[in-house]
Amino acid sequence: MKTFIVFGCGRFGSTVATRLYDLKNDVVVVDSDHEKIDLINDNVTEAIVCDLEDEKAVGELALNNYDVAIVAIGESLEPAVMAVLASKEAGIERVIAKATSDKFGKILLKCGADKIIFPERDIGYRLANNLSNDNLLNSDEISKGYSFYDFKAPVKMNGKGLTELGLREDYNFNILMVKRNGENYVNPNSDFKIKEEDILTVVGSDKDIKRFIEEN
């Protein structure tokens, strides 16, 4: 079980916090809004009212007790910066911060954040990818320019083995899993033959996967 502290109890912060708690983690939420704290209090380990612009108050949160900090303050820069700086100074190994713009994100990275999340941009990116091709079912960005993709096997792949398809050689990606009739085939071997109704999970650069989809 990991210990998380979530700064900010808006829609993004509360969703992350309650889901982490449902997954049996120790989750503490901090926000300056009493009403938001009251609403989430029963769905996390602890909910604390704290003025995130008050350096002394933030310093009393015993941040050294947490494995991960999530800074979900997308509206105001100062409390977000304060939360990131305090978390890193306390020795929290991983600090993930929400940002609403590239400039906001760059500032938080310079303050020590390990990863920046752009919720609205990321959702829009996935939606656009999913709508652009009938075979594409889902996509999740893992880093800039690289994603996981789920898509239906194109008809031309039917009956062909992975070696014959040459996906790694021609498109620089591997098939991580094949879903077929409710069964999952993880890391299929080179002789595995694709069927028309298979759902393929792959990881690679967006550029290479886009090229594969366009050509198949």
Task: Check whether residue 113 and residue 134 sit in a common domain.
Answer: no
Two tokens at 4?
């998380």
Task: Name the residue among 157, 158, 162, 163 with its Cα closest to residue 213.
Answer: 157
Boundary-marking domain end, from 91, 120, 149: 120
Task: Check whether residue 10 and residue 116 sit in a common domain.
Answer: yes
Answer yes or no: is pLDDT of 46 > 80: yes
Q: Can you give the pLDDT at residue 208?
A: 85
Answer yes or no: is pLDDT of 114 > 70: yes
Residue 157, in any domain of the structure? yes
Task: Check whether residue 116 and residue 146 sit in a common domain.
Answer: no
Q: Can you give the pLDDT at residue 164?
A: 85
CATH code of the domain in which 140 resides: 3.30.70.1450
Residue 173, in any domain of the structure? yes
pLDDT in tens, 164-181: 888 888 888 888 899 988
Residue 125, in any domain of the structure? no
Task: Characterize 119-137 residue by residue with b for buried, 16 or more Cβ atoms within 10 angstroms of its Cβ, and e for exposed.
Answer: beeeeebeeebeeeeeebe
Task: Check whether residue 143 and residue 53 sit in a common domain.
Answer: no
Residue 20, in any domain of the structure? yes
Two tokens at 190?
């080179």
Answer yes or no: is pLDDT of 152 > 80: yes
Task: Name the residue among 196, 96, 179, 194 with its Cα closest to residue 138.
Answer: 179
Residue 140, in any domain of the structure? yes
Boundary-marking domain end, from 85, 120, 155: 120
Task: Check whether residue 96 and residue 158 sit in a common domain.
Answer: no
Answer yes or no: is pLDDT of 37 > 80: yes
Task: Check whether residue 20 and residue 74 sit in a common domain.
Answer: yes
Q: Given CA atoms 124, 125, 126, 130 in this order, what sign does their dihedral have?
A: positive
Task: Check whether residue 145 and residue 103 sit in a common domain.
Answer: no
CATH code of the domain in which 116 resides: 3.40.50.720
Answer yes or no: is pLDDT of 40 > 80: yes
CA distance 39 to 35: 6
pLDDT band at 128, cuts 50/70/90?
A: low
* 3-class DSSP assignment, residue 89: helix
pLDDT in tens, 57-87: 888 898 999 999 999 987 788 899 999 999 9
Boundary-marking domain end, from 120, 145, 162: 120
What mean pLDDT is predicted for residues 200-209? Answer: 84
**Residue 88 belongs to domain spanning:** 3-120
The total number of structural domains that make up the chain: 2
Task: Check whether residue 134 and residue 78 sit in a common domain.
Answer: no
Residue 196, in any domain of the structure? yes
Main-chain dihedrals φ then ψ at residue 7, nearest 5 degrees: -95, 115
pLDDT band at 130, cuts 50/70/90?
A: low
Answer yes or no: is pLDDT of 125 > 90: no
Residue 170, in any domain of the structure? yes
